[in-house]
Structure 1
C-alpha cells in the first residue's frame, strides 16, 4: 500500500500534539483555555524548529515563514537559562526592533505573556515548553506555580520520546540515502566540506566544473536542502561523508 509521506507526517504531528494537549489538560488539570508550544531548535544553527502546539495555526505559520524564531526574545532567554521563567511583551522589550515586531504580530493572537520551561540536551538542542492562556490570567499563573515540577517532568518525558523517534527516523533516512547517493556525489561533497572550490574539485576528481555542479545539485535534491552549505551540514550530521572512504 502506498503511503503519502506528507500526510503520514501530518497525522503523526496531530497525534503528538493531541497527546501533549491531553496530558496538560487531563493529567495536570490545566484550564481549557491553556495554549502550549513544545519546540526543539538546534542551538548551533538556529534552523527552523520542530513545533508541536495548539497555538493559533496562523501564528505558527507566520512564526515559521517569517523566521521569527531567529530573533524570538523568549528563545534568546531560554538559550541562556536552565530554570523556567515568565515573560510578557514589556519585560522582553529591548532596543532590538525585531523583538517589537514579533510581539506586534503575536499580539494579534493575544499572545502577550506566558511561561517557558527550557531544556538543553546532549545533541545541542534547546527544547522548550511554553504556555499562555486565553482565559483568566491570575488563575493561570496560580496553576503554573503549583505545577512547575509536573510541567518540567512533562517536558522531560516529551523530549525523551522526541529524541528516540528522531534517532529512529534519522536511521531510516540515512539507510535510504546510502542506497541513493553515488560514490562520486559523496566524494564531491567531501571535497566541498574541506573548503575546495568547484574548480578545484573538478581538477582533483578529473571531471568538468559543470559535472561538479551537477553532483552538488543532485545532493541538494536528495538531501532535501536549499544549498551546498546546508547539504554539507546535513551530510555531516548524518555521518554520510564517511561512506565509500
Structure 2
C-alpha cells in the first residue's frame, strides 16, 4: 500500500488535470470517516498555513461544511451564515477562515462502501471568474461524476486488493522503453510531450503504451497508471 504522501501527490495531480478550468479556483478533496469524523485523506491547493491550522486543531470535527456534508447526498453552497445542528453556528471557525478568504464555497459529496464520505469543495471569492462560478451551478451533475471518479481512484490506491488477481512479475513485465513511457505518462506528460522527452516518434509512444495496457490486462492508459502505482511497477526515470 502506498503512503498518504505518495497517494496525495498523485491525487493532487490527477484532480488538477481533471478539473480543467475549475482548477483556477481554490479547491479541496477531503475523505473522512462517517463513524468518528476523523480525517483520512486530503488533497488541496488551500493556503498551507490554513491547512496546518485546520489539521493541528482538528477543525474538521466542528467544521459546519463537513458536518453538513456528512448528512447530504447532493451538492450545496455555503457561506458564513451556514448553520447546522439545530441552529448552532460555529462562528469561531469562520472567523479564522476569513483571514484566508475561505468563507464562501460550493461543496459536492459522495459516500462509499468503506464507511467514508468525501467532499470536493470549491472556494468562491470576489476574484473568482463569473463564468466559472456560473459553471459550478450549471454543471453540478458533471462535477458530481468527477468527484466519483476522483474518489474511485483514491480508493483503488488507498485500499488495494489483498489478492493480486493480475499477478505481475515486477522484474520482467516492462522493457526499458515501456517503463520510460509509463513513467512520464504517470507524472502527467502527454504522448506528444513524452515523444519529445524520449526523442522518439509519437506513434512509437502509442505503440509502447498499447503494449503496456495489454501486459497489465487493463482497459486504457489511465488504468495502467493506477495499476502500476498500486503494485509498485512504475520506476522513476534516472
Query: TM-score, with normalisation over the residues of structure 2?
Result: 0.61
Question: Any residues of structure 2 matched to 1:164-243 within 5 Å, and which?
Answer: 164-168=156-160
| 1:63 to 2:54 alignment | yes
CA–CA distance in 2 between the matches of 1:63 and 1:9? 18
CA–CA distance in 1 between the matches of 2:163 and 2:59? 30
Label 1:9 to 1:39 Cα distance change in 2 as closer, same or farther (>3 A). closer
Q: Structure 2 residue aligned with 1:113, among 88, 104, 126?
A: 104
Q: Which one has a bigger Cα radius of gyration?
A: 1
Contact 1:31 1:140 in 2 (8 A): no
Q: 4+ residue runs of structure 1 moved beyond 6 angstroms?
A: 169-172
Question: Any residues of structure 2 matched to 1:89-168 within 5 Å, and which?
Answer: 89-92=80-83, 96=88, 99-134=90-125, 135-136=127-128, 138-168=130-160
CA–CA distance in 2 between the matches of 1:15 and 1:55? 17
CA–CA distance in 2 between the matches of 1:14 and 1:65? 21
Return the offset for 1:66.
0.4
2:77 corresponds to:
86
Q: Aligned-pair RMSD on alpha carbons?
A: 2.6
CA–CA distance in 2 between the matches of 1:170 and 1:88? 42
Q: Which has the higher contact order (CA 8 A, sep 6+)?
A: 2
Query: TM-score, with normalisation over the residues of structure 1?
Result: 0.59
1:10 corresponds to:
5
Measured against aligned partners, the alpha-carbon deviations of 1:187-209 in whole angstroms (never above 9, x if no partner) come to xxxxxxxxxxxxxxxxxxxxxxx
Q: Structure 2 residue aligned with 1:77, among 68, 74, 78?
A: 68
Contact 2:7 2:158 in 1 (8 A): no
